[in-house]
Amino acid sequence: MNRWAIGTLAAGMAGAGIFATALAIRDPITYHDEVSRVIQNNCQVCHREGGVGPFPFQTYQDVYARRGMIEYVVQNRIMPPWFADPDIGNFANDRSLAPEDREILLQWIANGAPEGDAADAPERRNWMPGWSLGEPDATVMIPEPFAVPAEGVVDYQYLYVKTDFPEDKWITAMEIQPTDLSIVHHVLVLIEPPGAKSPRDAAPGEPVFRGGIDGYFGVWVPGFQGNVYPSGSAKLLPAGSWLKFQMHYTPNGVEGIDQTVLGFHFADGPPERVVETSSAFNARFEIPARNPDFSAAGEYTFERSGTLLTLFPHLHLRGKRFRFDLIYPDGQETPILNVPRYDFNWQLNYQLDEPIRVEPGMILRATGTWDNSHNNPFNPDPTAVVHFGEQTFEEMMIGYFDWIPETRDGGVAAGSR
Note the pLDDT tens digit of each residue in 242-276. 899 999 898 989 999 999 999 999 999 999 999 99
pLDDT value of residue 345: 81
pLDDT value of residue 32: 96
State the chain's mean pLDDT as an integer. 86
Note the pLDDT tens digit of each residue in 197-224. 554 443 344 444 456 788 999 999 876 7
Name the pLDDT band for 26 (thresholds 50, 70, 90).
Answer: low
Helices 99-110/67-75 angle, 10° precision: 140
Domains of the chain: 4-120 (no CATH), 129-271 (2.60.120), 274-417 (2.60.120.230)
The more confident residue out of 132 and 142 is: 142
What separation in angstroms does the CA of 35 have from each of 26, 41, 66, 408? 14, 10, 13, 53
Q: Indicate the helix (H) or strand (E) that contains 109.
A: helix 99-110
Note the pLDDT tens digit of each residue in 152-206. 988 888 888 989 898 999 999 999 999 888 889 889 999 886 665 554 443 344 4
pLDDT value of residue 39: 96
pLDDT higher than 90, residue 233? yes
Torsion of CA 285, 286, 288, 293, to 10 degrees: 10
Of the listed ranges 168-182, 201-215, 284-298, 390-404, the one predicted with least confidence: 201-215
pLDDT value of residue 417: 46
